Amino acid sequence: MLKWQKNIGELIRTKGAGMNRLRRWISDTYLHILHSLAMNIPFGRIKRTLYRLRGTKVGRGVDISSGVFIEESFPHLVTIEDNVDIGPNVIIVTHDSSYHCIQQDIPLICREVIIKRNAYIGAGAIILPGVTIGEYSIVAAGSVVTKDVPPHTVVAGVPVRVIGTVGEKQEKRIITTTRFI
């Protein structure tokens, strides 16, 4: 008999708390499988469905690249609105357990993360608990977002800072590209 089979057998034999532990184990295993599949499956429609099954609120037209880590423990605290584009290897977390790990009587910090419509999150960005990314905003690759990002804003850095508005960056890009034509 394998170890996991023995553990399940022990959980089933015990009453009350054991059944609660079994339900929790089954639920955690289910969420972990969905999480692993969603992170690695290449098909967008299936990926969005898997994230929704985990409890993440995902809007229409959302593009989530491979390797995106969307909160493993509290996926229901993540909202991704319509037409958001999330680059590869982005990490979105809704809880901070650093103090709780050091001292058990300090509670976990759990806060919602909201990514508003038409936002773009660059590759490898990290979004921390309690952050709202505004509509039509751009988070540069490799950035660490620790505070809210206003709408129509471009942010970059560790931690992020505003480097301009989307309109300014588009205008600059148009001027730069027309110079070479």
The residue type found at 153 is: T
14 pLDDT higher than 70: no
Structure tokens at 6: 């023995």
User: What's the pTM value of the predicted model, to 2 decimals?
Assistant: 0.79
Q: Mean pLDDT across the stretch 7-16?
A: 56
> What digits encode the pLDDT tens for the residues 74-131?
999 999 999 999 999 999 999 988 877 788 888 888 999 999 999 999 999 999 999 9
Q: Confidence class of residue 2 from pLDDT cuts 50, 70 and 90? A: low
pLDDT for res 178: 54
Which positions are annotated as active-site residues?
Answer: 95
> What digits encode the pLDDT tens for the residues 21-67?
888 888 888 888 888 888 888 888 888 999 999 899 999 999 999 99
> What digits encode the pLDDT tens for the residues 139-151?
999 999 999 999 9
On the question of a cis peptide bond just before residue 75, with omega within 30 degrees of 0, the verdict is: no
Return all residues near 48 (Cβ < 8 A) that are at least 6 apart: 58, 62, 64
> What digits encode the pLDDT tens for the residues 130-179?
999 999 999 999 999 999 999 999 999 999 999 998 887 777 666 555 55
What is the CATH superfamily name and number for domain 43-179?
Hexapeptide repeat proteins (2.160.10.10)
CA distance 117 to 115: 7
13 pLDDT higher than 80: no
Return all residues near 149 (Cβ < 8 A) that are at least 6 apart: 119, 131, 132, 133, 134, 137, 139, 155, 160
